[in-house]
Structure 1
Amino acid sequence: MQTLIINAHPDFTHRESYSNKLQTLFLEQFKERFPHDEPTILHLHETEIPRIEKDQLLRIWNKQASEQTLTATEEKIAAASSALLAQFKAHHYLKEIFQNLMGFHQFHIVRAQGTAILEEETILTSAADDLSKAFDEFYSPSEM
């Protein structure tokens, strides 16, 4: 089962962060259900993501459409964009964007909420419950 985890936490290496704890809960469930599969983890804050603007992807796309040669920098940006796009197409993903614009069938966000006002146990219990529900729905046999 191809699955992409997008970790958008700026300090994704901090083991005590709620994002990391929730990711660990997910990975435990994933490995139990799919012991021979390995999800891809994309850390947004360590990934250089090409921008859709006139000095980056728009210029590159225009040059490619008119069969112009790309500079080495443009080649690098184009390759990064293609790799990210291939990753997104090969995995499950932000609801309106991915379902409506890109044609994905389903999308789930599970997060640890209330981190500024609730006790850690309450937060993680609620997040684990949400994760279990989303996990079962996402990986239900009828969707695979």
Structure 2
Amino acid sequence: MKTLLINAHPDYQNPAHYSLKLKTAFEERYHKAFPQEELTSLTLYAQDIPRIKEGQLQSIWAKQATGTALTTEEALVAKTSQDLLQQFKEHQRIVIASPLHNFNIPSALKDYLDNILIARETFRYLDTPQADGKASTGLMTEDYRMLVLYASGSIYTENDFYQDLDFAPKYLKAMFQGVMGFDQVAIVRAEGTATLPEEAIMTKATQQLAERFEAFYR
């Protein structure tokens, strides 16, 4: 099966960032486990991810809905968006290395999701809502799995103030598993990076990675 490794850090070439340390640890573990397999990499901030705005996805979707011809620039953006969607669908294992920025995912990762959360491609709307009120169903149901390599300055897993602010991983899980139908979403956390020693953070995080990795490819 194919694995897509997404680097969602704006400072994507700086190995000092904890999410990128986890990314490196994942790559090392992957190549050791699957020496003959090729790992597909996507660095979000190294390219122009189409955005929902005039001249890009907003204009493209409106024109496509009415059969209006795209401009040359819009056609290029549309192709980029389609290529991202196709790449995503071709990989049954998705790994995202991401920091927490202002209590949420980085903006380029949200832009990326806007290119893959496409009705009739990764999910579809139902004619009749289900008993629980859900009016859509996922189309990514053939053993698709996601692993998030997640770094945060604070600790979000203790029963305190920050637990209620832990909605970034909840959002990702809701989109990938709840909307698109992924079978599994797992999270590896390097947390407390603003206060705890690096060794303690990475020891705990790499232990989590070892556990999640085995289940991810089982």
Same-fold status (TM-score > 0.5): yes
Could you tell me how far apart the structure 2 residues matched to 1:47 and 1:95 are?
Answer: 25
Q: Point out the more displaced range, 56-65 or 70-79.
A: 56-65
SS in structure 2 of the partner of residue 25 of structure 1:
helix
**Residue matched to 2:39:** 39
SS in structure 1 of the partner of residue 16 of structure 2:
coil
Equivalent pairs, count: 140
Alignment match of 1:118 (pick from 196, 207, 218): 196
Could you tell me how far apart the structure 2 residues matched to 1:108 and 1:5 are?
Answer: 14
Q: Which has the higher strand share?
A: 2
Identity of aligned residues (%): 49
- In the TM superposition, residue 37 of structure 1 has moved relative to its aligned partner by 1.3
Question: Looking at both structures, which has the greater relative contact order when contacts are Cα pairs under 8 Å and sequence separation is at least 6?
Answer: 1
- In the TM superposition, residue 67 of structure 1 has moved relative to its aligned partner by 2.8
Q: Does 1:51 align with 2:51?
A: yes
Task: Work out whether residues 5 and 42 of structure 2, in 8 Å CA contact, stay in contact via their aligned partners in 1.
Answer: yes
Q: Does 1:138 align with 2:216?
A: yes
- In the TM superposition, residue 108 of structure 1 has moved relative to its aligned partner by 2.5
Could you tell me how far apart the structure 1 residues matched to 2:22 and 2:66 are?
Answer: 46
Amino acid in the other structure paired with 1:101: V
Could you tell me how far apart the structure 2 residues matched to 1:54 and 1:14 are?
Answer: 33
Structure 1 residues 10-54: Cα deviation after superposition (integer angstroms, max 9, x where no partner):
211112222222111101111111111122222222232212345
Structure 1 residues 102 and 47, CA gap change in structure 2 (3 angstroms)? farther
Task: Work out whether residues 55 and 74 of structure 2, in 8 Å CA contact, stay in contact via their aligned partners in 1.
Answer: no
**Residue matched to 2:78:** 78
Question: Runs ≥4 in structure 1, deviation > 4 angstroms?
Answer: none
Q: Does 1:107 align with 2:189?
A: no
Could you tell me how far apart the structure 1 residues matched to 2:206 and 2:196 are?
Answer: 15
Unpaired stretches in structure 2, ≥5 consecutive residues = 95-145, 147-171
- In the TM superposition, residue 55 of structure 1 has moved relative to its aligned partner by 4.5
Task: Work out whether residues 12 and 19 of structure 1, in 8 Å CA contact, stay in contact via their aligned partners in 2.
Answer: no
Amino acid in the other structure paired with 1:18: Y
**Residue matched to 2:4:** 4
**Residue matched to 1:18:** 18
- In the TM superposition, residue 87 of structure 1 has moved relative to its aligned partner by 2.1
SS in structure 1 of the partner of residue 28 of structure 2:
helix
Structure 1 residues 44-76: Cα deviation after superposition (integer angstroms, max 9, x where no partner):
222322123455323212322333221111111
Q: Point out the more displaced range, 130-139 or 64-73.
A: 64-73
